[in-house]
Structure 1
Amino acid sequence: MAKKSLKIEGMTCAACAKAVERAVRKLHGVEEASVNLATERLSIRYDPSTLRVSDFKKAVEKAGYRALEEDTKIDEDKVRKERERMVLWQKFVLSAIFTVPLLIVTMGHMFGSAIGFHLPKIIDPMMNPLNFALVQLILILPVIVAGYKFFTVGFKTLFKGNPNMDSLIAIGTSAGFLYGVFAVSRIITGNAEYANHLYFEAAGVILTLITLGKYLESVTKGKTSEAIKKLMGLTPKTAIIIRDGKEIEIPIEEVEAGDIIFVKPGEKMSVDGNVVEGTTSVDESMLTGESIPVEKNPGDAIIGASINKNGIIKYVATKVGKDTVLAQIIKLVEEAQGSKAPIAKLADVVSGYFVPAVMGIALLSALGWYFIGGQSTVFVLTIFISVLVIACPCALGLATPTAIMVGTGKGAEYGVLIKSGVALETTHKINTIVFDKTGTITEGKPKVTDVITADGISQNDLLQLAASAEKGSEHPLGEAIVKEAEDKGLTFKKPDTFRAIPGQGIEVQIEGRNVLLGNKKLTDEREIVLSHFEEVSHQLAGEGKTPMYIAIDNTIAGIIAVADTIKENSSRAIEVLHNMGIEVAMITGDNRRTAEAIAKLVGIDRTLAEVLPQDKANEVKKLQQEGRKVAMVGDGINDAPALAQADIGIAIGSGTDVAMESADIILMRSDLLDVPAAIQLSKNTIRNIKQNLFWAFGYNILGIPIAMGILYIFGGPLLNPAIAAAVMSFSSVSVLLNALRLKRFRPVR
């Protein structure tokens, strides 16, 4: 299955998004289609052997909208959005210029006397009713022209069977305008009483206020996507490369893998790569959140968009364009912002039936008041227009995606990359977190602490033999032994054979001797007599060290103990999680005594020790079978199955690509305090979404009956369509403003 994302033009409300989804899902070969109203993006999973992008564009066009390839440059997207905002503002100003005098002409003769204002006799409704009506007709025409899109889009989608918010506005204002034109024709024939019921001002105020609401909506929408703009803005525009011994400045798009890039102090690294010449310190805080500059020497990795602080370096480009770390982060955040959370399904279902239902309610209410209530045509028209205008599903469609956009964007600021809306929602339900030990709770850079030998063998001889055996191993404990031997200046012997035994250790042949190096499982399986070394091993394990047995020709030769240092914030992170009521477990392949010693130091509740890599996912599954919502935090390839099995997989940013691919959340800073921060962000975002949905649903539940005239039945006022338009616009803006409150999020540390 392939993935594709398209920009959709012409959407105004949740009903539009639903219509586009429905049109695309009908295509044979589409597995999934999701529209995000806030980002105006259609995300599709489909069979590329069956469908082409042109098929999606045709389907979207048939539904009454327009699909475009997404802008790849932030500048283009920014210009387009600002142009749209400017057009909306100009339309509002034009509408207001004609709507204000329209209101003065309409209401002047009723309220003017209270402030000493009187309409000129030439347009006074008592003296010249036709002039009074014609002036209003002239003033309303520019407002209708300025709001022409409400009519073109509204009627187009209505006739295509996908009515949306614009359809409600178009029908309501058209009804008011056409009634006004009818009234003018009656005045011309001598029926002056129609001058008091023209309805032009209602249509004008509705169109003007809704245009203002749309403008405010576009402004606040722009603020929700600021995180992406900040990330995109980090990318430098040019790079200096070395070609034929000369420094040449080229656009960033032209840099290719293998180019040698020259960077001076204070400049940004253009793409990812590896240092080939020079030393410097680099500020990577914009990606990792780590404020301390990182020293870079030949061979060290460079992250694009990081800042060169004080040295001149040359580095070879390894990843360019869409392959850079920054580009991948932007892609992850965009996908997360464009995805839907399960909580949005209710709003989706409602919005699919909402507009047709509102049209039915408006028509039934109007007919009820006319035939049963015996009310006038003007009264019925007021009910009809008020119901159509007040029941806008904009707030409903914006409730979830705007909160997800701000939430995931805020996470990116803290180096917490949440891959999807589903992950964002699920995270707030987590009640158990399983941490991998090595490289997650601990630094993953263990050191040799003890070398205990059997009689007749020196410490250096044992270390030399063990280091020679581990030279071909990539296990962190093996690397610690090799480094200790190198630090002591010992020479290495070349093994004749090497075999890794998963979860137990290694077996090698060196100078005709069979050497075993591993844990107690290995010695038990080979039936090696440990004698007093078993007691020594227990003592070392109790101190939080990992003892490894060395046996030569099936005879115990000694123990080398290795200890891994605990990360700076591990204890504090676990304390914060406990304060949130979350149980914390640790999973490791180490022996139980060592694991429990580490667990005790950091305050872990449950220890899952001596777990083979392939069994980690099973241990997570057992916790889930207890009815727990489990998050797994890890960094290695062997953690990938467990990360995928858990309800939420959290990968440490310094970990492997496989672990990060399997995870739902990536912690760029490798700081465990970001684990509770991710959960807190999820809780705040879901709370915000619930508030938005409550307001959106509550507004319609209260607004529609009032517009139908329920208060009037009990002697209350009748809702004016102009007030209905103002309230409708406010509802959408209020939902967006509430979502923007998430920008104030600060994690408890």
Structure 2
Amino acid sequence: MTQHIELDVGGMTCASCAARIEKKLNRMPGVEASVNYATEQAAVLLPVGTSADDAIAVVEATGYSAELRAAPVPAAHDAHDAHDDHGHDTHSHFDHDLELLPAATGPTDPRARRIEAIRMLTRRLAVSTALTVPVVLMAMVPALQFPNWQWLSLALAAPVAIWGAWPFHRAAWMNLRHGGVTMDTLVSLGVLAAFGWSLFALFLGDAGMPGMHMSFTLFAEPGSGADELYLEVAAAVTVFMLVGRLFEARAKLRSTDAIAALLELGAKDASVLRDGVEVRVPIGELVVGDRFVVRPGEQVATDGRIVQGESAIDASLVTGESVPVEVGPGDAVVGATVNAGGRLVVEATRVGADTELATMARLVEEAQQGKADVQRLADRVSAVFVPIVIALSAAALVGWLLVGAGWEVAFTAAVATLIIACPCALGLATPTALLVGTGRGARLGILIRGPQVLESTKRVDTVVLDKTGTVTEGRMSLAEAVPADGESAADVLRIAAAVESGSEHPVAAAIVAGADASADALPAVESFAATAGDGVHGIVEGRLVAVGRPEWLATAWGIRLDRPLAERLTALEADGRTVVAVAWDGAARGILAVTDAVKPTSADAIARLRGLGLRPILVTGDNERVARAVAAEIGIDDVRADVRPAGKADVVRALQAEGRVVAMVGDGVNDAVALASADLGIAMGTGTDAAIAASDLTLVRSDLLAVGDAIRLSRRTLATIKANLFWAFAYNVAAIPLAMLGFLSPLLAGAAMAASSMFVVANSLRLRRFE
């Protein structure tokens, strides 16, 4: 028995910090932990006998703070807080985020802490920049070097090197106390070394003499002595590092706001009917069973089922689906969608953390906490990176001294090596792309379960599609009732509906609805039983009645259709109808045809899947003629018909045995095993909880076009991750040798290091424009 907890971790400043915490947690007996630098969270699996307090204590003993993470619950915000009148996302404006904190935000809220940290970092950067600019100008332009200019330069640079760089110094010291080194160690060493050299030159060398002048070069020159100042290096590197840290912090806040944006979509309050009177109550007071009114233009307060009224529901804020959907009594509606038409009365079916909006937020959060295999490689590199860089810096210093190049060349190479190294880019490469990709997917109604899903989408070459509810509307309706000779259509339908009233199958629902009578008006059914994928039977008015597939009646009951019924069945199936036979007293009494219209976007969706290099296969429990009629309509030539629910998983496994990488798309309980068996399970969000739980990708909107969108987004996100990692590795492989060989000054090294992290984050943020 294990316990899964999530921790908010404070104090991490680079990927090396996350690697250290993860290593410490995983040393605990039986504990499995994954620490994500970008989300500042730790996912921890605790064995029996180990508590959350034990894990928190280990994190704190490593030099960081930790606290249990609260579960995401929809916030009470009006839709206009998150969107303008045109539906545009106003939370993308970062300054607006800084000014408008959620009212419920407390002092321990991670988002509030991040925003406050960004404010402090912004102030530190502004002051440091104002002091650094004249220092750099005096060092670069000899004409500005008036008598004793170097002492003014010291007065301006000292606050920057000490106070401006204090976050790096403090983190380096805290890590050193716990026996560790991180990115902050490299920055702190570089800044203090440049500042210390300058103090030595001013007070013990010749740099403090009146009339001292210094020419600016990007590369150190052999033979230079202790009369050179590095104040501009200490100050400018600090500013570059602060710029990189601020850019990184703002990007992380933006990318993790996907969850906050989802939860803020909901309505603030609802008009609940109490004894026939409308009472306005906060959304948090709603309970299951409450009936509330939704007027035109208002948001649906929570998930529910319409009990009165007809309208069109605009779900674009939640699912990205642009076309409003017509709804009426009995239809389910999702919280945060907008009533675009008439007055509705809705009965709440799910509230609070159980709503679809909260479920979406949990799925996105779980995905953002995961790590891909490529990220684990980057984490292992980051864990040993800093000690190696310090050793290489020392080697550069000693090497240049041994060849007689002089102290300044040796010192410049050593400091540049310290500053140029950038494990932050490695640590940010995967999480930032994953954060932005999953966040963008959530706004488009695409929920990605985790980074391993991205790697699966790249390899998939075959898509297996369930028919009902996936390719078709999933709302069957009775098309025709055909009685046998001597029977009436009304009687055949009435008796069949009585038996089918005990079933939840879509065909059964269509037959019952077609009988145009409530369940109370139908004859009672006794000894009801169902055979999965075949049919149902029971006793109605003293007669044993069976309703199901004609093949099932023939094999299990020995009942066959007469020629007129068989000929009519063939014609109906050729038109794409699903046909069931009705029998009692040992003879076939008629057939019932139901139809399930193909979704208008299905044919276009199949074409797009082919454009992605995927081979579509239609799998259905319907017979061959019906299946092929539907397949021909949407452009699929590979059809697997007469497949029982358990057989769908067998189809997937058979394709895998042929060497294919299979994606399965479905929405029903009988699809769950196949979804779990596939290399990539894709559940339509309108489907069952079992199907969604077994899937890797969940599509909130019931549109097959979203399958292609999901695969494109996943592949784009994976490509971004790989590009980020390539840049991060290539940057370090190329830059560190150049610094050691003296081709880079510390000033250039600082700028390049900040630029590398900014490049990785900016490249990831491009995913926000995915359409």
Tell me the TM-score normalized by structure 2: 0.87
SS at match of 2:234: helix
2:95 equivalent to 1:94: no
Quote the residue 2:427 is aligned against: 397
* Counterpart mapping for 1:407-418 below 5 A: 407-418=437-448
Distance change in 2, residues 1:486/1:629 (3 Å): same
| 2:610 aligned residue | 578
Please tell me the root mean square deviation across aligned C-alpha atoms, in Å. 2.8
1:496 partner SS: strand
Matches within 5 A, 1:59-208: 59-70=58-69, 75=102, 76=105, 78-107=111-140, 111-112=141-142, 117-121=143-147, 123=148, 132=150, 134-143=151-160, 144-187=162-205, 196-208=227-239
Give 1:558 deviation, angstroms: 3.1
Q: Choose from 532, 545, 550 the match for 2:577.
A: 545
Structure 2 CA distance, aligned partners of 1:294 and 1:207? 55
Shift in Å, 1:517? 1.9
Matched, 1:345 2:345: no
Displacement of 1:276 after TM fit? Answer: 5.7
User: Of 359, 362, 376, which residue of structure 1 is paired with 2:406?
Assistant: 376
Compute the displacement of 1:239 (Å): 4.3
> Any conservation in 1 of the 2:553–2:560 contact (CA below 8 Å)?
no
Structure 1 residue 577: deviation in Å? Answer: 0.9
Displacement of 1:91 after TM fit? 1.0
Letter in structure 1 aligned against 2:261: K
Alpha-carbon displacement from aligned partner over 1:33-79 (angstroms, at most 9, x marks no partner) = 222222222222323x4222222222112222222344767723554
Q: Alpha carbons of 1:101 and 1:579: their partners in 2 closer, same or farther (altered >3 Å)?
A: closer
Q: Give 2:25's aligned amino acid.
A: V
Deviates more, 1:55-64 or 1:427-436: 55-64
**Residues in 2 aligned to 1:409 and 1:9: alpha-carbon distance in whole angstroms:** 22
Cα shift readout 1:689-734 (whole Å, capped 9, x = no counterpart): 111111111111110010011xx5xxxxx31101100000001001
Q: Deviation of residue 539 (structure 1)?
A: 3.9
Check if 1:362 corresponds to 2:396: no
Could you tell which deviates more after superposition, 452-461 or 189-198? 189-198
Range with greater deviation from structure 2 (477-486 or 160-169): 477-486
Q: Secondary structure at the match of 1:174?
A: helix
Per-residue Cα deviation, 1:340-378 (whole angstroms, up to 9, x for no partner):
22332221221122111111111122212222x122222
| 1:421-467 superposed Cα distances (whole Å, 9 cap, x missing partner) | 22233122211111111111112222333444433223333223322
Distance 1:566 1:239, change over 3 A: closer
Of 543, 548, 559, the match for 1:528: 559
Q: What letter is aligned with 1:119?
A: Q
The Cα shift of 1:5 comes to 2.1
CA distance in 2, matches of 1:263, 1:558: 44
Distance, in Å, in 2 between the alignment partners of 1:570 and 1:180 is: 70
Q: Secondary structure at the match of 2:5?
A: strand
1:128 match: none
Write the deviation string for residues 490-540 of structure 1: whole angstroms up to 9, x where unpaired.
Answer: 973333332212222122223333222222033123333445254544443
- Paired letter, 1:682: S
Paired letter, 1:593: R
Q: Could you tell me how far apart the structure 1 residues matched to 2:270 and 2:520 are?
A: 45
Measured in 1, the distance between the counterparts of 2:176 and 2:12 equals: 13
1:291-346 deviations in Å (ceiling 9; x for gaps):
44455656554432223445555545443322222111122112222222233222
| 1:141-186 C-alpha deviation (Å, 9 max, x unpaired) | 2111121110110132234233211011112222222233333342
Partner amino acid, structure 1, of 2:535: G
Range moving further from structure 2, 462-471 or 677-686: 462-471
Q: Is 1:745 the equivalent of 2:770? A: yes
- Structure 2 residue aligned with 1:707, among 727, 739, 746? 739
Structure 2 letter corresponding to 1:65: Y
User: Partner amino acid for 1:442?
Assistant: T
The code of the aligned residue for 1:649 comes to G
Identify if the C-alpha distance between structure 1 residues 12 and 190 changes in structure 2 by more than 3 Å, giving closer, same or farther: closer
What is aligned with 1:129? none
Distance in 1 between the 2:542 and 2:603 partners? Answer: 47
What is the SS of the residue equivalent to 2:676? helix
Shift of 1:625: 1.5
In structure 1, what is the equivalent of residue 82 of structure 2? none
Q: Name the SS for the 2:533 alignment partner.
A: coil
**Kindly tell me: are residues 210 and 435 of structure 1, through their superposed partners in 2, closer, same or farther at Cα, counting changes over 3 Å?**
same
| Equivalent residue number for residue 215 of structure 2 | none
Runs of at least 5 residues in structure 1 that lack an aligned partner in the other structure: 125-131, 713-717
Residues 469, 246 of structure 1: alpha-carbon distance in 2 compared, 3 angstrom cutoff = closer
1:309–1:531 CA distance, 2 compared to 1 (3 A)? closer
Measure how far apart 1:271 and its partner are. Answer: 2.9
Aligned residues: 720
Aligned mates of 2:731, 2:740 — CA distance in 1: 14
Aligned with 1:323 (options 354, 358, 375): 354
Tell me which residue corresponds to 1:715: none
Give the match for residue 52 of structure 1: 51
Q: Secondary structure at the match of 1:57?
A: helix
Q: Could you say which residue in structure 2 is the equivalent of 1:505?
A: 535
Query: Could you tell me which of 681, 685, 700 is aligned with 1:653?
Result: 685
Query: In structure 2, what is the Cα distance between the partners aligned to 1:374 and 1:187?
Result: 20
- Matched residues in 2 for 1:404 and 1:153: separation? 27
SS of 1:508's equivalent in the other structure is: strand
CA distance in 1, matches of 2:721, 2:735: 21
Unaligned regions of 5+ residues in structure 2, if any? 76-100, 213-223
- Which residue does the alignment assign to 1:336? 367
Aligned to 2:88: none
* 1:729 is aligned to 2:761: no
Structure 1 residues 603-614: aligned runs within 5 Å? 603-614=635-646
Q: 1:320 to 1:559 in 2, by over 3 A?
A: closer
CA contact (8 A) 1:342 1:425 kept: no
Residue pair 1:351, 1:396 contacting (<8 A) in 2 also: yes
1:562 to 586, 594, 599: 594
Residue equivalent to 1:36: 36
Report the alpha carbon displacement of residue 262 of structure 1 after superposing the two structures with TM: 5.1
User: Bigger shift: 73-82 or 194-203?
Assistant: 73-82
The one-letter amino acid paired with 1:497 is: S
User: C-alpha separation between the residues in 2 aligned to 1:681 and 1:189?
Assistant: 58
SS of the equivalent of 1:381 reads helix
Measure the CA separation in 1 of the matches of 2:518 and 2:66: 66
- Tell me how far apart the structure 2 counterparts of residues 458 and 501 of structure 1 sit (CA, whole Å): 27
Tell me the TM-score normalized by structure 1: 0.89
Aligned counterparts of 1:528 and 1:91: Cα–Cα separation in 2 = 85
Equivalents in 1 of 2:556, 2:633: separation in Å? 31
Amino acid of the residue matched to residue 145 of structure 1? W
Residue 7 (structure 1) aligns with: 8
Contact 1:660 1:666 in 2 (8 A): yes
- Post-superposition Cα deviations, 1:91-128, rounded to whole Å, max 9, x if no partner, equal 11221222223234444xxx42xxxx35332x06xxxx
- Which residue identity lines up with residue 123 of structure 2 in the other structure? Q
Residues 125, 242 of structure 2: 8 Å contact kept: yes
Structure-2 separation of matches of 1:5 and 1:672: 34
CA contact (8 A) 1:29 1:50 kept: no
SS of corresponding position for 2:416: helix
SS in 1 for 2:525: coil
Conserved? CA contact 2:497–2:511, under 8 Å = yes
Q: Which amino acid aligns with 1:66?
A: S
Contact 2:470-2:665 within 8 A present in 1 as well = yes
- Paired residues of 2:269 and 2:301 also in contact (CA < 8 A): yes
Question: Cα gap change, 1:481/1:52 in structure 2, threshold over 3 Å: closer, same or farther?
Answer: same
> Would you say the 8 A contact 2:226–2:408 is kept in 1?
no
Which of 709, 718, 726 is residue 686 of structure 1 equivalent to? 718
Query: How far apart in 2 are the matches of 1:301 and 1:541?
Result: 31
Instruction: Give the 3-state SS of the residue equivalent to 2:583 in structure 1.
Output: strand
